[in-house]
Structure 1
């Protein structure tokens, strides 16, 4: 069985370097259907599993402000990769965590890859990965794709998550009282339509944002013949995955 891994992150975080390291020569490129956005896909074999790795376009957010953002967002939410690796720059962690928080609103099957850790150490930057992992509720791995630091630990963590041996409690942003009240009002109505196919809280947020492009994508998703089966599957977002 082949599992899927999506790589998400800001531009210039070394995401493509990590993709090349994981997939080597077993990769190919093309365009996303109906888009001029480049699609890079490759194969990763660990000691235990085989993965298809998708290098999503580098973006600063996962809203519908550009074709790149739309492609990255739609893949994570509609294609449901088994694991999403969020690649961030260790030297600009605070700025990079914005996209990580957006991913965690969409899926709890994520690993934070803090890349360029060698550069951070040269600048005297210390990252407490255990504290960060506890705060975000997902595994955090310190890596340098360029120097091949932390890659063995990353591969082990990927396999463990695939096998359900890692529990996640993905952090969800709490908004002000007015927004949270509207989310609670929308969630039951959304669940009546989509069931467990998508995280209802995330869909509610996008509706409140007035995300027209997302609504168009949502309509196409619901009209897909496979939607009926997905609607009744156990919910994934915000739950724990234990051994």
Structure 2
């Protein structure tokens, strides 16, 4: 049985370098359906499992601001990869963690891959992976895809997550009392429509942001007899929270 891995990350984090390292020549490219956005897929074989890796477009967020962002968001939400590898730049960790936190609102099957640690060390930057992992609630692995540092540990972590041996508790951003109150009010309605198949808290946040593109995507990808309730009942309470 093959597992799926989604590679997510900001542009210029070395994500494509990692994709090439993991897949070698076992890859092919095309376009995402209905988009001009490039889709790259490859295969990874470890000692224990085989994986299909999808290299998502490099983005700074997972909102609906561009086709790249919509493609990356929709894949994580609707295709539900077994593992999402979030590649971040060790030299710009604070800026890169914005995307990582967004991914953690969408899935609990995530690994944060801190790349370019060789550059960080040259600049005198150190990353405490254990402390960062405890804070984020998911595994953190330090690597340099270019120098092939930390790859064995990354592969071990991927296998362990695929086998269900890693328990995660992703960090959840806490918003204002007003926003949290609205989320709590909306979540039961969202779960009534979609059950546990989609992250209800994340959907509530996007509806509060009046993300019309997400509502359209929900209609395209989710077939449910009560689907019209998404924009008729749930979306009535929408307001921007500035996430």
TM-score for the superposition, normalised by structure 2: 0.92
In 2, distance between residues paired with 1:166 and 1:188? Answer: 28
Alpha-carbon separation, structure 2, partners of 1:189 and 1:220: 19
1:37-52 matches, cutoff 5 A: 37-52=37-52
Cα drift, residue 224 of structure 1: 7.5
Query: How many Å separate the matches in 2 of 1:38 and 1:75?
Result: 13
> Which consecutive unaligned segments of at least 5 residues does structure 2 have?
228-243
Provide the rounded CA distance (Å) in 1 between the counterparts of 2:108 and 2:135.
Answer: 13
Q: Map 1:166-185 to 2 at 5 A.
A: 166-185=166-185
Q: Are positions 1:27 and 2:14 aligned together?
A: no
Say if 2:42 and 2:52, in contact at 8 Å, map to a contact too: yes
CA–CA separation in structure 2 for the residues paired with 1:164 and 1:194: 24
Q: Deviations over 1:217-239 (max 9, x none)?
A: 001122279x9xxxxxxxxxxxx
- Counterpart-to-counterpart distance in 1, 2:50 and 2:222: 30
Residue 66 of structure 2 is aligned to residue 105 of structure 1: no
Native 8 Å contact 2:193 2:224 kept in 1: no
Secondary structure in 1 matching 2:214: helix
8 A Cα contact 2:112 2:141, kept in partner:
yes
- Helix, strand or coil for the counterpart of 2:222? helix
Provide the residue aligned with 2:76 in structure 1. 76
1:1-243 maps to which residues of 2 (within 5 A)?
Answer: 1-223=1-223
CA RMSD of aligned residues (A): 1.2
Q: Distance in 1 between matches of 2:107 and 2:223?
A: 22
Q: Secondary structure at the match of 1:223?
A: coil
List per-residue Cα deviations over 1:24-44 (Å, max 9, x = no partner).
000000000000000000000
Q: Could you list the runs of 5+ residues in structure 1 that have no partner in the other structure?
A: 228-243
CA displacement at 1:171 relative to structure 2: 0.6
CA deviation vs aligned residue, 1:183-237 (integer Å, no higher than 9, x gap):
0010011111001110110110010000000000001122279x9xxxxxxxxxx
Q: Distance in 2 between matches of 1:153 and 1:143?
A: 9
Query: How far 1:82 sits from its partner (Å)?
Result: 0.2
Distance 2:91 2:204 in 1: 34
